[in-house]
Structure 1
Amino acid sequence: MSIGFDYGTANCSVAKLVNGQVKPIPLVGEDYYIPSTLCAPTSEAVSEYLFRVLDIKPLDSVGENVLRRAIRVNDEEGLDIRSDDVRFGHEALNLYLEDPKDVYYVKSPKSFLGAMGLRDVQLSFFEDLVCAMMANIKRNTERAVEQDVTQAVIGRPVNFLGRGGEESNIQAEGILRRAANRAGFKDVEFQFEPVAAGLEYEASLTEDKNVLVVDIGGGTTDCSFLRMGPSWAGKQDRRDSLLAHSGQMVGGNDLDIFTAFKRFMSEFGMGTQTLAGLEIPTTQFWNPIAINDVQAQRKFYAHDNLKQLKLMLKDAKQPDKLRRLMELHQGTMGYAVIREAEQTKIALGEQESYLANIQLLSEAVSIPVLKSQMEEAIAIPTAKIQALVEEAINQSGIKPDVVYMTGGSARSPILTGAVRNILPHTDIVSGNYFGSVTAGLARWSSLIYS
């Protein structure tokens, strides 16, 4: 059986096509979506979990070295890896929130896959992370449909990163393909996420149109300008229908990061000074919340940085605020801050103010945020999204008949308004913000594997 598989930055979902109709497949109970999160006792537990529990072996010598080291480290720490040691989705988040400092937690590993300059062992570990998540989704899918699932079309962004170019894309797609194969998918193909969303929208068209698909996901924004409609439906060769593509690593995560940085981090000492009148380095407030930047995370949570934070605390004019930053480090709580920024973003999509609440190890920090303040905070990623829309239009040389907006972050009236400012006289429509990519992938999967 074949499926469409949206391995998303924020959520994962799968679907199949039955008699021309897209059927989403429940992954956890009756839920069709599982957050792209993983939690384990240690990072090394993930690699040993694949080997011991799932009988998934490394593909090469680098992976074998990662596994051997993981087994050695876990043995030294007295860890006997069991089937329930690695959690996914909401279970992973809940376990992390219970005790952030004593578990390994990762959200949105897809954001790391295109990062350049990483060592082979780091890339191999990322592959293990993705493989564990994909294997969990495959098992849950097969349990729901009571069939083996061996073929998948997996969605991918136009560009995994804004830098790194095609080399970055090749690296990221290679990790996804190897992880999927190890998880048990024998046949794997990829489709651009905005093209997939467009295929789902096309099923509703009764006449041909020039459609600009704007897919604002958790990690990336992608635009595809497509000729769509009855004349194109059901065709595998659609090269002549693709007018333009643009994409960059800017999405819902960036909105959350900028909201946290601009509105929250002053409560952790950003903008304060040392006794000598020097400002505390801004990177100390950016790095803990930059959850889509593996290098920034490594720098902040490094043991050497703890020494630096202690020196800053000793020399701070407002030590109470800097002490909160110390708690972020000691409790590995950057994800908790971003989670509250995401709640703030969602709330301010419907109301004018919100009282954010960040629970630290020793206190709760309450921060009032106005909608206008959030709009100002996310001005930089909003402008990048607008630039991607303009780039796709300029590449095509024509104006679209309609803009189809999709992706979880496209629900934001701020971002809808930003696109409308570029195309004030063009209809903007939307469908299933979370499910259109998955549905289009299922349609493509049925077409190419039939």
Structure 2
Amino acid sequence: MYCGFDYGTSNCAMGVFENDEPQLIPLEAGKAFLPSALYAFSRDFITEGVAKSIQDDAARREYIESRKAILTRAQRVRREEDYQADDQVVFYGREAFSEYYDYPDEGYFIKSPKSFLGGSGLRTEHIRFFEDIVTLMMLKVKRAVEAKTGIPLTQTVIGRPVNFQGIDAEASNKQALEILSVAAKRVGFLDVEFLFEPIAAGMDFERRLDKDQTVLVVDIGGGTTDCAMVRMGPSYRDKLDRTADFLAHTGERVGGNDLDIQLAGKEFMPLFGMGAPLKTGLPMPTQLFWNAVTTNDVTAQAVFNSLETKKQIEELRLDSKTPSLLDRFAYLREHKHNFHLVRNSEEAKINLSDSNETLISLEYIEKSLSKTLSRDQLDSAITPPLEKMMQLMSSAIEEAGETPDVIYITGGSAKSPIIQKQIRERIGDIPVLDGDHFGSVASGLTVWAQRIFS
């Protein structure tokens, strides 16, 4: 059986064909998407989970040999912490967030692992660890769908951004696709194909077109924004070779996560001392505050969690006219609440799609601490990444050499009225249509899987 698999930066979704239509399968709490987050009581349990899941004997032996030291540590943690063989030690999606909120500094939490797959400078052990994270998350989704459908899944089309990273894109893409391919094979997919995510979103849209049009498809995902200019409609949709129909595509590593990070940095970090006055009259250094909220950057997180940053915060506290703010920042760092803070920023962004103001509670940091945010504050905070998104859209149109008949936007952040307003103002008087913000890519991938595997 074949499926379309949107292994997304923010959410995962999977579709299968039923009754001649792509159907997204509920993955958690009746919802057809699973947040791309994982929490483990020990990071070694992630590798242990992969070792237990590999079905092929030879492949499992080879894998165990390559992870021998890690698996030995996992067994030691089990003995020391008295974890039994059937205890749940790894959590996914909303459960992962819940466990992280309850025990932020006791386990290992990762959100949006897809953001890291194309990172430059990753050592072999890093790449292997990301393979393990992706494998477990893919396995969670695949098993949920197989349990619902009762049919083993052996073929898949997985969505991919145009570029996983902006720097050395070719090497980045190769590395990320290899990680995804290894993980997909380990969970039992025999045939794995990849399709650009904006093209997949366009294929979902194309099913409903009753006339030929040139469409600018804009997919604003959690980690990337991808655009494609595509000829679509009844004359095109049954073709297997669509190469000539794709007029242009652009993509960059700027997405919904960057909007969350900008909002967290500019509106939440002042509560922790960013911009606060120093006794010396010198400006407060800002990089350590930005490192805290740049949760999609391995290097930034390593620096933030380093002993050097701890000492820097202690020194700044002595120099600060408002030391209580630096105490608050030290508490956030010590208890690993920075991911929670960026999640609050994401929640604020979502809330401000439907209202002009939202109140965010930060009581997990300090009793009665909260922040009221307005849509205008969001608009101001996200200007830099939003400008990059607009440039990608303009570049796709320029590269294609023609004006689109319609703009089709999808992806979680595309729901924001701020983004839609910018598109209308910057691109021109062109109809802007909304897609299924969370499901259109998975549906389009399922459509393509049906065409190439059936």
Q: TM-score, normalised by structure 1?
A: 0.95
Tell me, in whole angstroms, the C-alpha distance in 2 between the residues paired with 1:322 and 1:198. 48
Contact 1:212–1:403 (CA under 8 A) maintained in structure 2: yes
> What do residues 183-206 of structure 1 show as CA deviations (whole Å, max 9, x unaligned)?
111111000000001011111111
In the TM superposition, residue 150 of structure 1 has moved relative to its aligned partner by: 0.7
Partner deviation per Cα, 1:427-447 (whole Å, 9 max, x = no partner): 111121111111100000000
Counterpart residue identity of residue 289, structure 2: F
Does residue 97 in structure 1 map to residue 109 in structure 2? no
Match of 1:68 in 2: 68
User: For the Cα contact (< 8 Å) 1:56–1:183, is it kept in 2?
Assistant: no
Find the aligned partners of 2:33 and 2:104 in 1 and give their Cα distance. Answer: 24
* Whole-Å separation in 2 of the counterparts to 1:282 and 1:47: 36
Cα distance between partner residues in 2 of 1:29 and 1:121: 34
Q: Are 2:218 and 1:228 aligned?
A: no
Contact 1:271 1:279 in 2 (8 A): yes
Aligned partners of 1:59, 1:310: CA distance in 2, in Å? Answer: 49
Distance of aligned partners of 1:358 and 1:411 in 2 relative to their CA distance in 1, 3 Å threshold: same
Shift in CA distance, 36/48, structure 1 to aligned 2, threshold 3 Å = same
Give 1:430-449 correspondences, 5 Å limit.
430-449=434-453
Instruction: Choose the corresponding residue for 2:111, options 89, 96, 107.
Output: 107
In 2: Cα distance, 1:181 partner to 1:57 partner: 14
Q: Which of 349, 354, 358 is 1:350 aligned to?
A: 354
SS in 2 for 1:359: coil
What letter corresponds to residue 339 of structure 1 in structure 2? R
- Aligned partners of 2:59, 2:319: CA distance in 1, in Å? 50
How many angstroms apart in 2 are the aligned matches of 1:24 and 1:137?
Answer: 12
Shift of 1:44: 1.8
CA distance in 1, matches of 2:397, 2:174: 26
Supply the distance in 1 between the matched residues of 2:49 and 2:231 (Cα, whole angstroms): 46
Distance of 2:66 and 2:115 partners within structure 1? 21
Partner-residue secondary structure (3-state), 2:23? strand
- Distance in 2, Cα, partners of 1:145 & 1:60: 27
Mark the CA change 1:64 to 1:101 in structure 2 (over 3 Å): closer, same or farther. Answer: same
Equivalences, count: 450
Q: Which amino acid aligns with 2:276?
A: T
Q: What pairs with 1:36-435 in structure 2 (closer than 5 Å)?
A: 36-52=36-52, 67-77=67-77, 78-79=80-81, 80=83, 82=86, 84-435=88-439
SS at match of 2:67: helix
> Retained in 2: the 8 A contact 1:243–1:396?
yes
User: Are positions 1:17 and 2:17 aligned together?
Assistant: yes
Counterparts of 1:57 and 1:124 in 2: how far apart (Å)?
Answer: 20
CA contact (8 A) 1:66 1:124 kept: no
Q: Comparing 238-247 with 286-295, which one deviates more in the overlay? A: 286-295
Rate the CA distance shift 1:368–1:34 in 2: closer, same or farther, 3 A.
Answer: same
Is the Cα contact below 8 Å between 2:288 and 2:309 reproduced in 1? no
**Which amino acid letter does the alignment assign opposite residue 238 of structure 2?**
G
The one-letter amino acid of 1:420's match is R
| CA-based RMSD | 2.0
Amino acid at match of 1:146: G
Please tell me the residue identity of whatever aligns with 1:366. Answer: S
Q: Could you report, residue by residue, the CA deviation over 1:111-169 in whole angstroms, capped at 9, with x for unpaired residues?
A: 00010111111011011000010011111111000010111100011111122211111
Cα distance change on mapping 1:49 and 1:135 into 2, 3 Å: same
The separation in 2 between residues aligned to 1:390 and 1:237, in whole angstroms, is 26
Distance 1:287 1:33, change over 3 A: same
Task: Spell out, residue by residue over 1:15-55, the C-alpha distance to the aligned partner (whole angstroms, 9 max, x if none).
Answer: 11224211111222522111101000122221122214666
Report the counterpart of residue 30 of structure 1 in structure 2: 30
- Runs of 5+ in structure 1 lacking a partner? none
Query: CA, structure 1 residues 220+19, in 2 after alignment: closer, same or farther (shift >3 Å)?
Result: same
| Correspondence for 1:6 | 6
Gap change, CA 1:61 and 1:271, over 3 Å in 2: farther
Question: Measured at CA, do residues 29 and 320 of structure 1 come closer, stay the same or move farther in structure 2, by a change above 3 Å?
Answer: closer
Equivalent-residue separation in structure 2 for 1:387 and 1:347 (angstroms): 26
Q: Distance between the aligned counterparts of 1:391 and 1:83, measured in 2? A: 51
Evaluate the alpha carbon distance shift between residue 56 and residue 330 of structure 1 in structure 2; reply closer, same or farther with a 3 A threshold. farther
Q: Judging changes above 3 Å, is the alpha-carbon distance between structure 1 residues 28 and 368 closer, same or farther for their aligned structure 2 residues?
A: closer
Query: Aligned partners of 1:89 and 1:83: how far apart in 2?
Result: 18
Q: 1:61 to 1:328 in 2, by over 3 A?
A: farther
Amino acid at match of 2:336: T
Contact kept? 2:394, 2:427, Cα under 8 Å: no
C-alpha contact (below 8 Å) 2:53/2:187 kept by paired residues: no
Residue identity opposite 2:15 in structure 1: A
Instruction: Answer yes or no: is the 8 Å Cα contact 2:272–2:326 preserved in 1.
Output: yes
Name the amino acid aligned to 1:317: K
Amino acid at match of 1:114: G
The percent of aligned pairs where both chains have the same amino acid is 41
SS in 2 for 1:311: helix
Secondary structure of 1:237's aligned partner? coil
* Counterpart code for 1:233: R
- CA pair 228-129 structure 1, distance change in 2 beyond 3 A: same
Deviation at 1:353, TM superposition (A): 1.8
Asked if the contact 2:44/2:74 (under 8 Å) is kept, the reply is yes
CA–CA distance in structure 2, aligned partners of residues 195 and 82 of structure 1: 42
Equivalent pair of 1:49/1:83 in contact (CA under 8 Å)? no
Q: TM-score if structure 2 supplies the norm length?
A: 0.95
The letter for the 2-side match of 1:278 is L
SS of residue matched to 2:295:
coil
Q: Shift of residue 300 of structure 1?
A: 0.3
How far is 1:92 from its partner? Answer: 0.6
C-alpha displacement of 1:307:
2.6
Distance in 2 between residues matched to 1:444 and 1:432, nearest whole Å = 17
